[in-house]
Amino acid sequence: MPVSLANSRLIYEALKECDIRLVSALPETWLVHLIRMADDDPQMTLVRLAKEEEAVGISAGAHFAGVKSAMLMQNHGFLASINGIVSLAQLYKIPLLMLISYRGSFGERDPWQTQGGNVTEAVLRALGIPYFLLDSVETLKKQIRHAQTLAESSLQPVAILLTRDLMWEE
């Protein structure tokens, strides 16, 4: 499978270094290695979801419990979670670390992903969610740490867009 195992491992290590202890996820192609790593890690609680919006509630519960968590989802899953993000996480100032696979952008071959790719960044901006594109192996760990730090200090959702350059090996 041309999903980058090496870069998935770097991302997973970065999450561990941030003391992330719970990961919620809905499977998507680019995330398969990350989800498997969480599943194989006895120190990690992996919650497999029926729909991504559940993850907002689960991360809120984890935050109340004092456990740092992360959400793995596709950008369409982010789009499906918006009410939870606005009327739970933002309303109640809950930190969320959202790792979002950025499908439907340049290089996308699946026609069904393309409309979501068009609107992802515009929706993030409209919601006032701080985000960046993660595409560099060299700075990856520092960027993920910085995102997690901002989520915790500002008590709000932040988003990391996982790019094709990082996740996919042609």
Partner 1 sequence: MLRLDCLRSVYSELEDCLVVTIMGAVAAELQSLGHRPNAFYLQHGMGLASSIGLGLALCLPEQRVVVFDGDGSLLMNLGSLTTMARYRPRNLTHVVFDNESLLSVGGFPTATSTGTNLEGMARSAGIPRVVTVRDIGNFQIAVCEPSNRKELTTIVAKVEATGPSGYVTDLSLLENRFQFRRYIQSLKQH
**Interacting residue ranges for partner 1, rule: CB under 8 A:** 21-22, 45, 47-51, 53-67, 69, 83-84, 87-88, 91-94
Rounded Cα gap, residues 149 and 121, in angstroms: 21
Closest CA to 169 of 65, 27, 33: 33
H/E stretch holding 160:
strand 157-162
| Beta carbon nearer to partner 1, 21 or 76 | 21
Shortest Å, Cβ 66 to partner 1: 6
Contacts of 128 (CB under 8 A, 6+ apart): 90
Rounded Cα gap, residues 42 and 37, in angstroms: 10
| Beta carbon nearer to partner 1, 53 or 165 | 53
Shortest Å, Cβ 129 to partner 1: 16
Shortest Å, Cβ 132 to partner 1: 26
Shortest Å, Cβ 81 to partner 1: 10
| Beta carbon nearer to partner 1, 24 or 75 | 24
Shortest Å, Cβ 96 to partner 1: 12
Helical spans, DSSP H, in 32-113: 32-40, 54-64, 75-80, 82-84
| Beta carbon nearer to partner 1, 64 or 112 | 64
| Beta carbon nearer to partner 1, 151 or 162 | 151
Rounded Cα gap, residues 165 and 127, in angstroms: 26
